[in-house]
Amino acid sequence: MIDINKTLDLIKLKFYNEWLYTAHMSEQELPEYHRDLTNKMVENYIDPLNLPKDSIILDMGCGSGYFLDIMKERGYTNLTGITLSLTETKICKDKGHNIKNYDMTCVPQKEGYYDESVDFIFCRQTIEHSPYPIITLAEFNRLLKEKGKIYIETPQPDTELNHEYNPNKYSVLGVKQWDALLSRAGFSITSSNTVEFDVDRSDGTKLRDKYMVMTAYKRCPLDIK
């Protein structure tokens, strides 16, 4: 016999997800200054990791492909950008990048992304868009090999840019909260820093923005069976 209440619960969950993705999430290309910022972050945080050139690397929320461009120039050969944006997909594919239209919280195993199949995840200005950050981090844990590394960059709360009120940002969290979530998801943080800079507005004024930058490695798998 079908349990109608369980069926209704699944329908509710499906409705909530469709509401999130259709009502709130929009395609927003990152401003040009993010190209220079990405370059600096790669120089300061990714280059020191000395990842092998054949490392399997996922760029979660690849935007216009700035990170993919930089890593391709450095000779990395196994790069994949992940995005739900059709605009970003076209921009990146026109550059010759490999792009997959996946939700970063559920990267399909049937497409070859099995448990512990990825060496490195780059997640810049993306995880704050997740309505379910702990589940997203659990998926990153599943994907990464033992001791696999991750880079996360995300806006800090309570800045002049009011990221919390961006209609498609759900998880603008503080340093301690991200530290706690990463730990619960089986990661150990290797570095955690704050980056501050001014953003020019069209009226000539400036606003102070503040990002949190973290690197971590997979300390242990999650016992989710």
* Residue 114 located in a structural domain: yes
Q: How far is it, in rounded angstroms, from Cα 121 to Cα 62?
A: 11
Would you place residue 201 in the very low, low, confident or very high pLDDT band (cuts 50, 70, 90)? confident
Q: In which domain, by residue range, is 159 found?
A: 28-218
Query: Is residue 122 in some structural domain?
Result: yes
Classify residue 126: in a domain, yes or no.
Answer: yes
Q: What is the pLDDT of residue 21?
A: 72
More confident residue, 171 or 31: 171
Residue 5 lies in a domain: no
Question: Domain holding 45: CATH number?
Answer: 3.40.50.150
In a domain, 22, yes or no: no
* pLDDT number for residue 53: 98
In a domain, 15, yes or no: no
Summarised one tens digit per residue, pLDDT across range 52-74 is 999 999 999 999 999 999 999 99
**How high does pLDDT run on average in the chain?**
91
Work out how many domains the chain is built from and give that number.
1
Provide DSSP, 147-185.
EEEEEEEEEPSS-TT-GGGSTT------HHHHHHHHHHT
Mean pLDDT, rounded, for 160-177: 93
Token readout for 195 is 């980056």
Question: Predicted confidence band at 4 (pLDDT cuts at 50, 70, 90)?
Answer: low
Helix (H) / strand (E) containing 66 = helix 66-73
- Residue 81 and residue 105: Cα distance in Å, rounded? 14
Question: Is 7 within a domain?
Answer: no
Give the DSSP letter of residue 49. Answer: G
For range 173-202, the mean pLDDT: 93
pTM: 0.91
% of the chain residues with pLDDT over 90: 73
Nearest to 60 by CA among 135, 115, 125: 125
Task: State the pLDDT at residue 30.
Answer: 61
Share of the chain above pLDDT 70, in %: 93
Q: Is the pLDDT of residue 224 over 80?
A: no
pLDDT at 116 over 60: yes
Answer yes or no: is 2 within a domain.
Answer: no
Residue 1 has pLDDT above 60, yes or no: no
